[in-house]
Amino acid sequence: MMVAPLDGIRVIDWSHVLAGPACSYYLGLLGAEVIKVERPGRGDAMRHRGGTDKARAAGGMSTAYLTQSAGKQSLALDLEREAGRAVFERLLKSADVLVENHRPDTLTHLGLEEEATRAINPRLIHCAMTGYGRGNAMADAPAYDVNIQAISGLMALTGTTETGPLRTGAPIIDYATGMAAAMAVMAALIQREKTGQGAFADVSMLDTAFALMSSTITDYALTGTEPKARGNAANSRSPSSGVFACAEGRISLGVNEEAQFRALAQALGRSEWLSDPRFADPVERNRNGAELGHAIAVALAGRSANDWEEELMAAGVPCAKLRTLAEALALPPAEQRGFARRGAAGYCGLPFQIQHASQPNGAIPPQALGTGTQAILRDLGYSETEIQRLADQGAVTCSSQ
């Protein structure tokens, strides 16, 4: 029997930009009903920025917005108005989860801090995503992905002494925070099954960045050695790991174990390394790391990365040719598993598959601002007359698109 793990769970997505909307999108892919609450007028700012398609962005449907907006109904609601706030309270009473990424000061201004939302609905899971989490002097500081990459030390680890610190090429902190928040929500839902009570989930972008650097942090804590940018060298610090130039293209080697090194030497036609006193055992290889790295580079320079990848993989050597995104999406695992199109309405999906879990088939495509307003209000018990009055007051915006 196919089931959706979160079938019957209603999620209110009162968030913006990437991390919050990504969290609710993931929950929707697992079967939750998701209602996205946006301010009337421009809605989520991400509707109008992100990606290279300027025409879509100008129309309020940027590619960055489309990525995590399928499967959601759009409710255009002005929470600054008393009538809009009353609608939101009724919505919260019907919900299982609230996902938001506003600063605590904003919540206090609107009277929607976690104590207030939990008073409205004691079974509610209130998931709050902020740059630095609650309970510290930076709790109200604004933050985007690029800021967290800078302040967390992640950028200082990326690049080389020549390039200086570099941001990763994609907003990995945003999406990792969205995943962390989705995990927190699911854990809180399981907890609610045991206690009958809702909970507040405090999700920090900085904590998430630290989680992505866990082994580096542990090494620093135990040794006091300040980590430095290593460019394309592997974290294992093995001299036979890293990215090497080939006759055409580049290849990444992950040769960390003795058996892997023996396989590499034989596949490269350098069996003499196995008896060379400089490279014969791991201690000497590390001591003569620069020489070994040079020797590997010379060996690889004779053929293309394509050729080496095929041969080295066949020999059991962990390796991968450096690819562009277009090339990566054409790989058999990407094409056959369909990540880029298996999500709601054919957009990117979850990075895992669960046996017997139903997939989001024919889900709601990303909606124009306010498209779901009338249907949502009717579901909450508002009459047509009341809906029109709310619209006349500017508390809601209805759209037929």
- Asked whether the beta carbons of 18 and 174 are under 8 A apart, the reply is yes
Question: How many CB atoms neighbour CB 369 within 10 A?
Answer: 23
237-264 b/e with 16+ CB inside 10 Å = b?
ebbbbbebebeeeebbbbbbeeebbbbb
207 is catalytic: no
Please name the amino acid found at residue 358: S
- Asked whether the beta carbons of 11 and 91 are under 8 A apart, the reply is no
SS3 at position 362: coil
For residues 233 and 236, give the distance between their C-alpha atoms in angstroms, rounded to a whole number: 8
Query: What is the Cα Rg of the chain in Å?
Result: 26
Q: Which H/E stretch holds residue 14?
A: strand 10-14
Q: Which of 96, 174, 202, 219 is catalytic?
A: 174
Name the β-bridge partners of 72: 34
Write out the two tokens for 36.
Answer: 């996205």
Instruction: Tell which residue, 205, 210, 155, has the closest CA to residue 179.
Output: 205
Q: Which H/E stretch holds residue 25?
A: helix 19-29
Question: Distance between terminal CA atoms of the chain?
Answer: 36
**Residues forming the active site:** 174
